[in-house]
Amino acid sequence: MDRALYVAMNGAKQVQLHQATNTNNLANASTTGFRADFNAINSLPVQGPGYESRVYSQDEHTGVDFSSGALQQTGRELDIAVSGNGFIEIQAPDGNTAYTRAGDLRTTSAGLLETGAGHPVLGNDGPIALPPFQKLEIAADGTISILPVGQEATTLATIDRIKLVNAKPEDLYKGEDGLLRAVPDASIEADASVTVTSGMLESSNVNTVAELLDMIELTRNFEMHIKIMRSIEENDTATSQLLRIN
């Protein structure tokens, strides 16, 4: 059987892998603070004895789009939008530190402050826990002040400060859980210059039009590889018939 069949099969497989990234981006087009993924398909010649007449393709994750998403006003006291290249430091499910732009915060029944996805938000001394409150305010520097239950409206108590960091794109990578983490040997510390805006949320930075066009192109590309595989099968059948005649 012609080796072109394996080349076409490999191409179809790599297109499917690229489609998975494209689909994930589209699925998170409305996810708060989501950062789109970049993928690229590279050509890899097959090296070996004889003339290199076959070139395979390989889909690779090339990075993350760190451009900012649009800001949406919500008026909710627990919603915050991070400025510039800043990130909110959170605790990942594995217990390690991670970073996010998702500022849709909430409190659990135990008073633990977490993101909309359920990841604890870190402060000066670990996960932030809030006592019962009537009112809450988050200052531009991430300081959390509350009006305790039963206290006068003029009394605001400072509880903790959300840990905000300023990280370079090259110092971060996205894990399979969608959270951003520091690359090995990268040092990411709290930065007082990072600010937040209360009552606002940053939307996903996914360009839905571009992703839909990419999906159409990938679908046609996949169909082209399938047609090539069928043509190779037809050629193989015709060759077998000719050999039987001889």
Domains of the chain, by residue range, sit at 4-66+206-245, 71-202
Q: What is the pLDDT of residue 239?
A: 75
Give the up-direction half-sphere exposure of residue 48: CA atoms within 13 A in the CB hemisphere: 6
Is residue 164's pLDDT more than 90? yes
Q: What is the pLDDT of residue 59?
A: 86
State the distance between the two ends of the chain, measured CA to CA, in whole angstroms. 19
pTM above 0.85, yes or no: no
Enter the tokens of residue 234: 């037809």
Assign 246 a pLDDT band (cuts: 50, 70, 90).
Answer: low
Enter the tokens of residue 222: 């996949």
Q: What is the pLDDT of residue 10?
A: 85
Q: What is the pLDDT of residue 157?
A: 86
Q: What is the pLDDT of residue 245?
A: 65
Mean pLDDT value across the chain: 88
Instruction: Convert 91-107 to b/e letters by CB count within 10 Å (16 or more is b).
Output: bbeeeeebbbbbbbbeb
Model confidence over 96-130: pLDDT tens digits? 999 999 999 999 999 999 999 999 999 988 999 99
Q: What is the pLDDT of residue 66?
A: 92
Q: Which amino acid is at 205?
A: N
Vertex 133 angle, CA 154 and 73, to 5°: 85
